């Protein structure tokens, strides 16, 4: 499901300083003086996924296939900038230096005071990560993460129901296509109207999902 996909950015550091190449989502903008990959900060908290994927991390498969596939965790990630860092880079970053040692680990950074929450070892499970996410976002946003996530889950259920309804209606329409009787024409007109209504409802659900994540920062960023 597309709504549960996590968009990761790859960076070499999150601390500010110097001219850098800034990676934001799928695009990178280079400025003069450096080839570092440095996070461009905004008001969002940052979730740093520390792992040497090339060498492999013990627990990597569980993290990728279980924890990050958890519905609440995946949706909750929308409140964060989600970045991946090699452990060597994390160890050299002024903000992340000394924050945890196990691999993989998750580091959650509050942009208002640069405080880092470490999630590793036994805490690195869906419930532990989600709990940490709620605590960090509670300090950053006016909205409660859990309430937003639960609302999104309800919208996903409605979206599935609408998708099923659209399939049934389109299947009926396909069976009637080609028939020339007045009864068929009347039924096709009714089905077309119903399909248009379902499509409009689907578009509205999509808009609600997007608007849901326009979260309000409690304070201006200091990073």
- Encode pLDDT of 146-170 as tens digits: 999 999 999 999 999 999 999 999 9
DSSP annotation of 21: E
Q: Is residue 223 part of a domain?
A: no
| Phi then psi dihedrals of residue 81, to 5 deg | -80, 125
Among candidate residues 141, 156, 177, the one where a domain is terminated: 141
Residue 211: band (very low, low, confident or very high) from pLDDT cuts 50, 70, 90: very high
Share of the chain above pLDDT 90, in %: 64
pLDDT exceeds cutoff 90 at 106: yes
- Checking if the pLDDT of 139 tops 50, the result is yes
For residue 37, pLDDT over 60 is answered with: no
pLDDT of residue 223: 45
The answer to whether the beta carbons of residues 38 and 21 sit under 8 Å apart is: yes
Do 24 and 130 belong to one domain?
yes
pLDDT for 65: 92
Together in a domain, 25 and 110: yes
For the segment 183-210, the average pLDDT, to the nearest whole number, is 93
Average pLDDT over the chain reads 86
* Mean pLDDT value of segment 68-88: 95
**Quick check: is 52 in a domain?**
yes
Predicted local confidence at residue 1, as pLDDT: 64
pLDDT > 80? residue 56: no
Asked if residue 220 belongs to a domain, the reply is: no
User: What average pLDDT does this structure show over 86-98?
Assistant: 94
* 159/54 same-domain check: no
- How many domains does the chain fold into? 2
pLDDT of residue 21: 35
pLDDT at 150: 97
Examine the domain organization and report whether 26 and 134 are in the same domain. Answer: yes
Does residue 131 lie in a domain region?
yes
Residue 47 lies in a domain: yes
Q: Are residues 108 and 193 in the same domain?
A: no
Please provide residue 105's backbone torsions phi and psi, each rounded to the nearest 5 degrees. -145, 160
pLDDT at 26 over 60: no
Check residue 150 and report its DSSP letter: H
Of 120, 141, 162, the last residue of a domain is 141
Residues 118 and 137 in one domain: yes
Mean pLDDT within 52-64: 82
Same domain, yes or no: 114 and 35: yes
Residues 31 and 94 in one domain: yes
Residue 218 lies in a domain: no
| 192: in domain | yes
Last residue of a domain, one of 141, 174, 195: 141
Query: Domain span at residue 170?
Result: 146-212
Percent of the chain predicted with pLDDT > 70: 87
The 3-state DSSP class for residue 220 equals coil
Q: Domain check: are 64 and 169 in the same one?
A: no
173 in the same domain as 69 = no
Q: Do both 96 and 131 map to the same domain?
A: yes
Is residue 20 domain-shared with residue 62, that is, in the same domain? Answer: yes
So what's the pLDDT on residue 27? Answer: 34
Read out DSSP for 157-210? HHHHHHHHHHHHHHHHHHHHTT--SHHHHHHHHHHHHHHHHHHHHHHHHHHHHH
Residue 222 covered by a domain: no
């Amino acid at each position: 499901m597309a709504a549960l996909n996590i968009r990761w950015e790859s960076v070499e550091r999150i601390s500010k300083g110097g001219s850098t190449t800034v990676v934001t989502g799928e695009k990178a903008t280079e400025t003069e003086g450096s080839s570092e990959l440095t996070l461009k900060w905004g008001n969002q908290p940052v979730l740093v996924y520390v792992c040497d994927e090339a060498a492999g991390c013990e627990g990597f498969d569980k993290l990728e296939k279980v924890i990050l596939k958890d519905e609440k965790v995946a949706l909750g990630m929308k409140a964060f900038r989600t970045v991946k860092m090699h452990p060597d880079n994390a160890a050299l970053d002024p903000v992340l230096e000394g924050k945890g040692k196990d691999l993989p680990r998750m580091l959650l950074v509050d942009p208002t005071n640069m405080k880092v929450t470490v999630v590793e070892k036994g805490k690195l499970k869906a419930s532990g990560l989600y709990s940490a996410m709620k605590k960090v976002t509670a300090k950053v946003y006016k909205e409660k993460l859990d309430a937003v996530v639960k609302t999104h889950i309800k919208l996903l259920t409605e979206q599935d129901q609408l998708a099923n309804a659209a399939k049934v209606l389109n299947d009926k329409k396909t069976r009637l296509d080609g028939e020339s009787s007045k009864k068929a024409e009347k039924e096709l007109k009714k089905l077309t109207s119903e399909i248009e209504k379902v499509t409009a409802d689907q578009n509205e659900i999509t808009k609600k999902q997007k608007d849901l994540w326009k979260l309000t920062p409690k304070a201006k960023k200091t990073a």
